[in-house]
Structure 1
């Protein structure tokens, strides 16, 4: 009997990097004796994960900005801006190092020579059958195995709100320490109509003297009334004319809306009785609430004012049969607000003027009692926990816009088509919703003081000013176009005066003119931003790419709001070998929110805006899951080949 062939055992040692797997396949040995290779695998310990900085970024100091119309003085440093930016760069560098390390490991695995395990065949090869040959006698080849690209779908189960929803309620300064004496710099309703006298016509008449021309337009002798505002020494003059175009600014309706807002939010129930009944309390149809009208249309469109005028006039029809004081001399017990509405409905000029005179006298008596200080001025202090009422905020925004921007809307629409400098606005309703969604004003009991809001491409400053007024946050805007940037500076100064007249306080605002991709002041503030808004609806891809690189400096948890997404929404986002290394996109946890028709100026339709939350830790976890899925896929592929 022949002896069995001798066997030699060869032991080799191979070092595997973390994440590598052992693959083997069997080939036919060239000749006996059989050589069995036993491989001992020694795994290197995985390197420790790079540390992730979870502490919030420090707040840098705010250097003076020559181009700004107001400085962010509250940006007092807890640490230097260089330290904050250094932390951000270290976090991004660690991500890049992780990406580079993974890529290097993959290359090492691919470059290593394969080790073949061989053994004696135990089965005889299968005999070829006729079915294995085609009609021409050629052997059919087995189909090749197609290995699809590994795709990993993921959704970060994290909140898309930048700020902790469980923060303790925090009060903000809602009141002004200054009186309402704003000087000659205020742009009043009267001054606006003076510059546009040719586009206005008479609204009132004297029903007892049809030859009376005192209510007709005139360069100097025009009809007017004053309105007392809540703060000391605060009043404004309104011209009693109506626009020839119903969509233009209507001073009579503006006066009535401001008066109603003062009565509703600054007076006690006992004081309200002295003025009478507000229309929304008794005349509005059932189911129609005033809150739904607060953000009914953008301030750039005066159609909301005209609609209000129509509603007021139609609702007053039922008053024509009611008892009323004698024309021109309302009695002390008269319902002054109803009388004023009746005068508007009947176009009775003398009745309107005399009623407004009585209202102003009553308002002055409330503002200047003999024994105490102005109680109306103290009312905004009670809003420190709840925030400025929405209707008060809206009136300040609309009054400012109508006087500063309204006369220049036609000029703002002159821009280069198909460029990144197309002018467009978000309405106050949409801005208010964005501020809630991002957490700056997510709860009435919370405020935005201490938070920083940035607007890239701020236009005339509407969003920046509303953010500062609504939440008390610090706000910064940069705009490249000269005309909108100039109007933004005017609107900022006028809103400060308006806030003083209403006795309220707004957050600090800084507006600069410049290119958002090369603005030194923006580079200083972006690492401290809590919310960054960019209306990139018509931005070119080159500009969007330039902004993506800037977003790497945002702190963890910061929010980017845009009209076009910088990364796919998280429920549709996929990690593949093509985009896994794109940190500027992958660090975002993205959610979409709908906006309704009439909330943007460039379209009457609806659409979506996008919330991007910086989530570097979530990206690390998702990348680890992706790599594990890739590794498992490679093992399954190797097994199939065996």
Structure 2
């Protein structure tokens, strides 16, 4: 073999590169088999069938639960859908349960309706997928009578007080000389009026609601155009027969709602003449609703209900009542004593709905909320289940807002033709107030949002347990009896021994002060375990 040329006694690098074999690329074929897609089974026990889908309602995800496609959730109470004021202080009290970052809710923010987003908004946010959770089938309350017969009666002439959308959304200057609303349709024909006021009918004929066709200068505020469209969709879904509902919200895009949306978009983009067409479509819907009211369709549809579905409950309480009463005065709920038992924070509608289902709260039962805040839980229980619903709140400002909500609640239920359970909101200390202590003796479900309560107050509440009737269920965010608690001779006289406790998961978006998951506790007064212990140990004196 000839010798390799060298440079100063070493092999030439260039010649080495020439002699190097070329690199070979290895390939490997991999077959990927996709897993079958899981489709959640829908419950067949729904109390009513809706004629059309409600686009405002949360869209189902792959896990069978819902999530919205609106902007990232900052809170969940309105100003026609804005969020409830939450406090970070409860989170600071339970550091062991809240390791991740929490978010501060803002009660003055608006949760956009689907119709609002379609006017040009796009959040562009992909929400994380969640694991599948199986939901228990809803129990039907055969005793529940949803329709308010008097509201459908010709004897009721309608003249009751209500807060119209016009009252909170108009182009008049406020007390500071600021104009918070401006004309929605700006490109007008000569004969068109700027910022006209129109009326929208409801399922009953009692009275219509006034709306001014304006838009907020702050996108977080209440939007009358969006609520008009949502009202119409809910009425079509729950109050009209299928053929009529198709005229209102057609899957082929030719319904009244779709046309309203089209004219709103065109008007927002500065195209001329669409205001008059928008108004005409609202009048067409009013005429259709009046016809279906006269022929008895609406009354028959309401008679088929055995509970009020959560989307409709949400719309009435959160998007209408709260937006007209609490949101304009939301600064009042911020006035509380920090790190006290009066820290303000709320359980959100989805969580309350879960609680009502787990406790099987019925129309012939009694619900009590100790520390009821502005009254949302009390109103939702009465509207959703028809039960007798009580609340007690010590904070003066919160109770004043609760009273405003209670008044508007009565008006809204009449407009929608729904008969809720009786509600009673008390201002006072629930440990001292005689009226609330008496009603607790016959309560079936007691809600105590004790997340931020001091240890002293939680301990005092254990004495209240002794007054509850056997079988009463207590819902709390902190347990009164730990799931690991055992009855012993040294603690036999502790009131918590008469409770049976179950720890349950609380998922995200269920409370106002954080999006983090956690736990809640369902406790039932049941003295059988204590009685058995006493019998085994010679009969200790029962506390």
Of the three residues 180, 183, 188, the one matched with 1:200 is 180
What does the per-residue CA deviation read over 1:158-214, in whole Å, with 9 as the maximum and x for residues that have no partner?
xxxxxxx999952311111223754352111110124875363436334466x9995
Q: 2: CA distance between counterparts of 1:206 and 1:242?
A: 11
What SS does structure 1 have at the residue aligned with 2:304? helix
Of 274, 278, 281, which residue of structure 2 is paired with 1:355?
Answer: 278
Within-5 A mapping of 1:435-450: 435-440=356-361, 448-450=362-364
Higher normalized contact order (CA 8 Å, seq sep 6+, divided by chain length): 1
Q: Kindly indicate whether residue 538 of structure 2 is the aligned counterpart of residue 618 of structure 1.
A: no
CA gap of 1:349–1:506, structure 2 versus 1, over 3 A, is: farther
Q: How does 1:212-231 map to 2 (within 5 A)?
A: 215=194, 222-231=195-204
1:319-338 pair list within 5 angstroms: 335-338=255-258
SS at match of 2:471: coil
Asked whether 1:523 is paired with 2:446, we answer: no
> 2:160 matched to 1:249?
no
Structure 1 length-normalised TM: 0.57
State the match for 1:592 in structure 2.
503
1:376 aligns with 2:348: no
**Equivalences for 1:85-234 in 2 at 5 Å?**
170-179=142-151, 182-183=158-159, 185-194=161-170, 198=178, 200-202=180-182, 204-207=184-187, 215=194, 222-234=195-207
Asked if 1:272 corresponds to 2:245, the answer is yes
- How far apart are 1:590 and its partner, in Å? 0.9
Question: Is contact 2:159-2:207 (8 Å) kept?
Answer: no
Task: Rate the CA distance shift 1:466–1:335 in 2: closer, same or farther, 3 A.
Answer: closer
The answer on 1:573 being equivalent to 2:485 is yes
Instruction: Report the secondary structure of 1:242's partner residue.
Output: strand
Aligned partner of residue 202 in structure 1, secondary structure: strand
Per the alignment, residue 66 of structure 2 pairs with none
Q: Deviation string for 1:283-304 (max 9, x for gaps)?
A: 8xxxxxxxxxxxxxxxxxxxxx
Instruction: Return the TM-score normalized by structure 2.
Output: 0.66
Any stretches of 5+ residues in structure 1 without a counterpart?
Answer: 1-164, 216-221, 284-333, 441-447, 629-642
Provide the residue aligned with 1:303 in structure 2.
none
Residue 265 and residue 595 in structure 1: after superposition, are their counterparts in 2 closer, same or farther (change >3 A)?
same
CA distance in 1, matches of 2:272, 2:326: 29
* Cα-to-partner distance string for 1:89-132 (whole Å, 9 max, x where unaligned): xxxxxxxxxxxxxxxxxxxxxxxxxxxxxxxxxxxxxxxxxxxx
8 Å CA contact 1:205, 1:212 repeated in 2: no
Q: Distance in 1 between matches of 2:162 and 2:407?
A: 9
Secondary structure of the 1:178 match is helix
- CA deviation after TM superposition for structure 1 residue 373, in Å: 4.8
RMSD (CA atoms): 2.8
Q: Conserved in 2, the CA contact under 8 Å of 1:225 and 1:353?
A: no
Higher Cα Rg, which structure: 1
Which of 344, 349, 368 lines up with 1:428 in the alignment? 349
Q: Could you tell me how far 1:565 is from its partner in structure 2?
A: 1.2
Mapped pair 1:394 → 2:314: yes
Aligned to 1:32: none
Q: 1:495 to 1:434 in 2, by over 3 A?
A: same
**Aligned match of 1:544:** 458
Structure 2: stretches of 5+ with no match in the other structure: 1-136, 539-543
In structure 2, relative to structure 1, the CA distance for the partners of 1:203 and 1:430 (3 Å cut) is: farther
1:220-256 Cα offsets, whole Å, 9 max, x none, are: xx33332111101331112222223333222221221
**For residues 408-419 of structure 1, what are the structure 2 equivalents within 5 Å?**
408-419=329-340
Measured after TM superposition, the shift of residue 470 of structure 1 is 0.7
Give me the whole-angstrom Cα distance separating, in 2, the residues matched to 1:342 and 1:469: 34
2:385 — aligned with what?
A: 471
Cα distance in 2 between the residues matched to 1:622 and 1:254: 58
C-alpha distance 349-199 of structure 1, shift in aligned 2 (>3 A): farther
Aligned residues: 390
2:492 & 2:265 partners in 1: Cα distance? Answer: 66
Q: Any conservation in 2 of the 1:586–1:619 contact (CA below 8 Å)?
A: yes
Deviations along 1:369-402, one digit per CA (max 9) or x if unpaired, are: 79x555324421121xx32233322221121111
Describe the shift of the 1:337–1:349 C-alpha distance in structure 2 as closer, same or farther (beyond 3 A).
Answer: farther
Residue pair 2:185, 2:213 contacting (<8 A) in 1 also: no
1:102 corresponds to which residue? none
* Alpha-carbon contact 2:501-2:521 (below 8 Å) kept: yes
Aligned partners of 1:400 and 1:498 also within 8 Å: yes
Higher helix share: 1
Q: Distance in 2 between matches of 1:349 and 1:436?
A: 50
The correspondence for 2:326, drawn from 405, 428, 434, is: 405
CA deviation profile, 1:305-327 (whole Å, cap 9, x unmatched): xxxxxxxxxxxxxxxxxxxxxxx
